[in-house]
Structure 1
Amino acid sequence: MNGKLSTIALLTDFGSQDSYVAEMKGVILSINSNVNIIDISHNIEPQNILQASLMLKRSYGFFPSRTIFICVVDPDVGSGRKIILIEAEEYSFVAPDNGLLWLTANELSVNKIISLENYDYFLNPTPSTFEGRDKMAPAGSYLSLGIEPGQFGPIQSGIEKLEIPKTQIEKNLLIGEIIYFDRFGNAITNISMDDLMENEPRNLPLVIFGPDEIGHIVSTFSDAANGSAVAYFGSSGYLEMAIFNGNFRLKYSARPGDRVVVDYAK
């Protein structure tokens, strides 16, 4: 990918209470004051790499060509894990090598994977508790100025994998789990439309959460009565559960990892 890169997109679990995001933006703008910074989200649940990976996967394709994505969900910050730069045909990505980029990289034509090791492009070369600010933000900003990816460090052959938990089939049941919740309290599961269609259902099956029947899968929220539970395939591409004009997470005291069952027999 050649040419000047003028857009940087940020994805973190930093939230909005503290100054972490502002510090990263300050570093970026101090290096390239003309860059356009877009926030994907800073409300990833703390240390939830899978949630960040899925959010990046669903969103990156809506950005203009040559966008640089800086993604910081980094439970092992300051450890021996690497920081990487992935150069693809249309986009570049800077993130810890902890699986966060795995799902997205599998969809792209990757040109190079670089281990970020050149201290000339770091704010602080020593390990720290804030390498998003001290290493990833400056590297991404220098990249936006047209610095060649090879200047940041050596090429590496692959990246850490991160798999979505697999669904299971037991007789007439498709069994999955909640992966994460959006800000409305809707539960996003690991059950895809492909998973659902593997059993070739003749009718829309019933979704069960714990002892409760959520209902048959519908097309949208408005197919349910106000305040009632509803199951549908959302814009994430996965089965979601919600309360129409309510909060599923709070009503059912639901948590990531909780079992979700699709019953083809009902």
Structure 2
Amino acid sequence: MSKYLVLQTDFGLQDGAVSSMYGVAYGVSDEITVSDLTHGITPFNIFEGSFRLSQTVKYWEPGTVFVSVVDPGVGSKRLSIVAKLKSGHYVVTPDNGTLTHLAANYGIEAVRVLDETTQRLPGSEESSTFHGRDIYAYNGARLASGQVTFEELGTALDPNAIVQLPLNLPVVEDGAIEGNVDITDVNFGSLWSNISLEAFKELQVQLGDLIHVEVLHKGEQRYSGYLPYVHTFDDVKPGEPLVYIDSVYTVAFGVHTGSFAQQYNVGAGEDWSVKISKVN
């Protein structure tokens, strides 16, 4: 194991929840390093948590253990699982769709189901609403520290049986591409789609070309416009919209020193799609 434990939650930093997870992890072992992916996932937004994991995992060395807790079903019959990715990384999380993007982009080699009644922080048996501390951080630290192996963590589950959310993969048809708006660049309001750079190139676009962009919510058009495809934000004037390639190498839509999401009242997630075509 790498001895790295990386935490992601929708808890925010306004109270002691995240610090409690740190304390539990270091209580298991003071030889691991605990770090944060983010604790700013939109509350209950499993799809967003799934994306952020996929965005980040590959920049950590194989053997790193991720704990992701976006868990609106905490205390219910949903499973608590540990997944081993084909990349060699591990994820401890509820089985609620959090692994969706990882399954698509990395592949899942194996899954173990945790026993929530026995594989938990000693003394926490009466609590049912803080599994992030009592089950996920605790078992994540045990795995990262080498106190247990992956194979010792619970019973095997077929990776194909885990819960997955719809990804709405891109479709190229009649000179246009329709895909999903996966995420909002949270600090700056850009929309990041799941349309890869490779798929975008099928439109034979060049920097400076105009792109017709339609953003839809549940199939209903919420935005339509003609935007320039540019290299960087400074290639347009402040306040103007643009099409660019984001840091995960997908097609994105932004506004120079502004927020595309706010300016045009659009969003991201399973219900948001985008259709693009080159203007001839």
Range of TM-score over shorter length: 0.7 to 0.9
- Match of 2:11, SS state, is coil
Q: Report the equivalent of 1:129.
A: 129
Distance 1:177 1:57 in 2: 15
Three-state SS of the structure 2 residue aligned to 1:143 is helix
Preserved CA contact (<8 Å) 1:118 1:153: no
Counterpart Cα distance in 1 of 2:227 and 2:104: 34
The CA deviation at 1:208 is 2.3
The answer to whether the 8 A contact 1:215-1:229 is kept is yes
Shift of 1:10: 0.8
Structural mapping, 1:108-257, within 5 Å: 108=106, 110-117=108-115, 119-123=117-121, 124-125=124-125, 128-146=128-146, 147-158=148-159, 159-168=162-171, 171-182=174-185, 183-198=187-202, 200-201=203-204, 203=206, 204-209=209-214, 210=222, 212-256=224-268, 257=271
Cross-structure match for 1:55: 52
Q: Percent identity at matched positions?
A: 27
The Cα of 1:63 is off from its aligned counterpart by 0.8
Number of residue pairs matched?
Answer: 262
**Compared CA separation, residues 17 and 216, structure 1 to 2 (3 A):** same
C-alpha distance in structure 1 between counterparts of 2:205 and 2:181, whole Å: 25
CA change 1:213–1:108 in 2 (3 A) is closer
C-alpha change, 1:112 and 1:213, in structure 2 (3 Å) is closer
Q: Is the 8 A contact 1:50 1:164 kept in 2?
A: no
Deviations 1:195-242 (A, max 9, x none): 3244x4355451424455251222221221122111111012222111
- CA RMSD for the aligned pairs? 2.4
Distance 1:110 1:186 in 2: 30
Decide whether the 8 Å contact of 1:12 with 1:42 is kept in 2: yes
Structure 1 SS opposite 2:157: coil
Kept in 1: contact 2:200–2:251 (CA 8 A): no
Task: State the 1:48 CA deviation.
Answer: 1.8
Distance (Å, rounded) in 2 between the aligned partners of 1:175 and 1:156: 34
Letter matched to residue 241 of structure 2: A
TM-score (norm 2): 0.83
Paired residues for 1:67-146 under 5 Å: 67-88=64-85, 90-108=88-106, 110-117=108-115, 119-123=117-121, 124-125=124-125, 128-146=128-146
Query: Cα gap change, 1:121/1:184 in structure 2, threshold over 3 Å: closer, same or farther?
Result: same
Residue range with higher mean Cα deviation, 94-103 or 252-261: 252-261
- TM-score, length basis structure 1: 0.87
Worse overlay, 220-229 or 166-175: 166-175
Distance 1:154 1:42, change over 3 A: same
In the alignment, is the contact (CA less than 8 A) between 1:214 and 1:229 conserved in 2? no
Q: Structure 1 residue 132: deviation in Å?
A: 1.0
SS at match of 1:132: helix
Gaps of 5+ in 2: 215-221
